[in-house]
Amino acid sequence: MRVLITGRHGQVSRELQRCLADQAELLVLGQEQLDLGDAAAIRRQVRELKPDLLINAAAHTAVDQAESEPERAFAINAAAPGVLAEEAASLAVPLIHYSTDYVFDGSKDAPYHEDDLTAPLGVYGCSKLAGEEAVRAVGGQHLILRTSWVYSLHGKNFLLTMQRLLQEREELRVVADQIGAPTWAGSIASATTELVRHWKEGRAGAWGTYHLTGQGETSWFGFAEAIAAQLRSQGRPCARLVPIAASEYPTPAQRPLNSRLDCSRLQREWNIRLPNWHDALLECLNSPR
C-alpha cells in the first residue's frame, strides 16, 4: 500500500510517519517537495505517485498569523484540500483530512456534534471550514477528522511553550475560561492508523466528518497545571500559575470559549476512541523524542 502524506515536519505528520512506517510505503511530501498553494503542483505529484491512500496532514496552523495573511491561509487550508479530494476521487482512493474545533464559535454550552451549526470566529477557522466544504463537495471516499488543542514533543505547541515558561518565570498567567480537550498528535496518528487498518480489512464505517479528540475536558489553565505537576514530580523549578479570563489575554484571532467536541459518532461507526487527555499527556511525556 502506497500512502501519500502531505506535510513532513508537522506534529501529526511526524507521528503518522512513525505509526505507519511498517504498514505501508510512505510518500511524504513536505514544503520542500510540494507547495500546497500551487494547485497544478498538487495534481502533478498525485498523478505521478498514484497512491492508494492520501492523508492531508499539512495546514496553515498559525492562528494569529492567518489574520494578516488570509490568502495564504485559504490557499493551503481551503483550496488545497479540494484539489487533493478531486485527485483522490479520480484515482478512486480515500482521502483523510484533518480539521479543527475552530469551525465553531464556542457559544454552545455542551460538546459540539458533527452536524451542529458552524460559525468560525477568524480567518483560520473560516479557511479550515472552507477546506471541509471543498472535500465534501467532491464526495468520494473521505474522512474529515476534526480535532483540538494538538500538542507533541516537536514543533510549536502549548506543551513545549509551558514547559519552557514554567521553568523560566516565577509566575505565569494562563487562560482558564476556554474549555476543550488537549489531544496528543500521537493519539491522532494511532487512531488514523486504526482507521486505515479497518478500511484495508473491509471493516470501514461510514465515510464523512468525525470528531477526534482526547476524552474528558479541561481549560488551558488546567492543562498547564497538569504540565506543571509533571515538572514538579521531576524536581524541576516551576512557576506559580494564575488563572485569568481570555479577555485579559487579547490575541489577533478570537478563540472559541467552548472547544469541546463529542466523539461518540467515531466510536459508533469505526469503534475508535482516544484515551483520556491526561493519560495521553503522560504517554506523550514518556514517549521517545
Fold of the domain spanning 2-152+183-214+261-275: Rossmann fold (3.40.50)
Average pLDDT over residues 117-143: 97
Query: What are the angstrom distances between the C-alpha of 270 and each of 46, 168, 192?
Result: 27, 44, 11
Show Cβ contacts of residue 241 under 8 Å, excluding neighbours closer than 6 positions.
Answer: 166, 171, 172, 173, 174, 221, 224, 225, 228
Average pLDDT over residues 134-149: 96
Q: Where are the beta strands (DSSP E) in the chain?
A: 2-6, 25-29, 53-56, 95-100, 142-147, 150-151, 171-175, 179-180, 183-184, 208-211, 218-219, 240-244
Average pLDDT over residues 133-162: 96
109, 242 contact by CB (below 8 A): no
Q: 212: closest CA among 139, 283, 261?
A: 261
pLDDT of residue 257: 97
Average pLDDT, the chain: 96
Please report, as a single letter, which amino acid is at residue 22. Answer: D
Report the share of the chain in percent with pLDDT over 90: 94
45, 34 contact by CB (below 8 A): yes
Q: What is the C-alpha separation between 231 and 157, in angstroms, rounded? A: 17
Reply yes or no on whether the pLDDT at 208 is more than 90: yes
Domain ranges of the chain: 2-152+183-214+261-275
Q: Which of 98, 102, 124, 151 is catalytic?
A: 124
Residue 124 bears catalytic tag: yes
The residue count for the chain = 289
pLDDT of residue 289: 75
pLDDT of residue 31: 87
Q: What's the pLDDT band for 247 if we cut at 50, 70, 90?
A: very high
59-96: pLDDT as tens digits? 998 999 999 999 999 999 999 999 999 999 999 999 99
pTM of the model: 0.95
Q: What's the pLDDT band for 288 if we cut at 50, 70, 90?
A: confident
Q: 275: closest CA among 131, 160, 284, 198?
A: 284
- Residue 75 DSSP one-character state: I
18-51: pLDDT as tens digits? 999 998 999 999 988 899 999 999 999 999 999 9
**Helices and strands (H, E) in the chain, number of each type:** 11, 12
